[in-house]
Structure 1
């Protein structure tokens, strides 16, 4: 296995945090009597499953690319489910003029047509690109929900979901540094950069968990 023990701790922690976030979101929906919020918690599970495919890939010593392909495919469905869940929540909240403008922004990536694949014509590369577009649409929908009903979802939770984009950007940059500058075969071979990038995902998931926990605590105190 290529990962060091500290790197394994970071990877496992980020996966567990997402699972905890899903459970807390479902519990939050139960407390509020909101099926749509419970659905959001349930629809976080595909991404959690996808993270375990990534862990399995690292367990194999990065020798079974099919596991990464499966992770990308599951994450695509996960992003679609998250978008579906947040649109459902959005439909229960009275629209405002500002939110309507953001709705038009959300549709831009969806009507832009088939995205160009920068990694070739392979179907799983295309899946990764489409998944990214859908996830960004989900993020914009979260902002719309936050705009219409600031008390429904914690700003820390919304920020945590958005911080995933920082993780992705830094990971891409670290991949370039590891392979093109430092001469490693892949990012996984550069334990320092790999662990540093993955720690950002751990941070984003922690933000989501703490934000949901804050909402649960606030709702119980208010109730």
Structure 2
């Protein structure tokens, strides 16, 4: 295996944290009677699948490249779904909620027409489009939070945004591994790989922790309140 046991553990933590965050979003949505949050939880599913595909890719010793390419495609679908689910919760778009969901099929059709076939040599372009869709999702989070602070806490939003740090560091460490050290991929530089992946684990942990604090604040009002202001810092 290319990966050491600590790096494997980080990968497993990353996937587990995302799955836990999905469950917490579902629970929070049910608790405050916001079905949109439960839909959001379901829309996190493709990214979970992407993480599992990456685990399979590494388990194969990075030889089954098809798993990596499919994971990029599921990333694209997941980012479009997260963007749409977030916009659907925006009060300003409540009247056009049904039309908002058209973003997903329109986005997929556009990408398919531009980069068909979606796998193989076009896989990198699909990943780039997925990153653009994810950035749009991040911006939509801020917009929704400014108009409705109930669905997402600043800690959760910060966790989603922290993923950009993971992406930036991964690009940097990949260049060190492939150009500086002359290795085939980042996976062959285990320490750098583990360092990069740990940042994704931190991002997912922040997402899950933010939702957990919201749930606990609903169950036990004042639990996370500041003693001076009486407000929850994560609100």
TM-score bucket (shorter structure): 0.7 to 0.9
2:214 is matched with 215
Distance 1:158 1:93 in 2: 20
| 1:126-169 superposed Cα distances (whole Å, 9 cap, x missing partner) | 21111111110000000011111234311010000000010000
What stretches of structure 2 of length at least 5 have no aligned partner? 95-106, 223-235
| Preserved CA contact (<8 Å) 2:91 2:148 | no
Residue 173 (1) aligns with residue 172 (2) = yes
1:68 is matched with 68
Paired residue total: 202
| Preserved CA contact (<8 Å) 1:93 1:149 | no
| Preserved CA contact (<8 Å) 1:28 1:212 | yes
Displacement over 3 Å in runs of 4+: 91-94
Q: How does 1:54-93 map to 2 (within 5 A)?
A: 54-91=54-91
Provide TM-score, normalisation by structure 2.
0.81
Structure 2 CA distance for partners of 1:155 and 1:136, relative to 1, 3 Å: same
| 1:84-110 superposed Cα distances (whole Å, 9 cap, x missing partner) | 10011113689xxxxxxxxxxxxxxx9
- Please give the secondary structure, in 2, of the residue aligned with 1:8: helix
1:107 is matched with none
Distance 1:183 1:189 in 2: 10
Distance 1:145 1:91 in 2: 8
Aligned-pair CA distance for 1:15: 0.6
| Preserved CA contact (<8 Å) 2:37 2:151 | no
Distance 2:80 2:34 in 1: 20
Distance 2:171 2:20 in 1: 27
Structure 2 CA distance for partners of 1:47 and 1:129, relative to 1, 3 Å: same
Distance 2:35 2:18 in 1: 20
The alignment yields a C-alpha RMSD, in angstroms, of: 2.2
2:225 is matched with none
| Preserved CA contact (<8 Å) 2:26 2:41 | yes
| Preserved CA contact (<8 Å) 1:93 1:148 | no
Q: How does 1:177-192 map to 2 (within 5 A)?
A: 177-192=176-191
| 1:3-50 superposed Cα distances (whole Å, 9 cap, x missing partner) | 000000000100110000011001110101111111001100110011
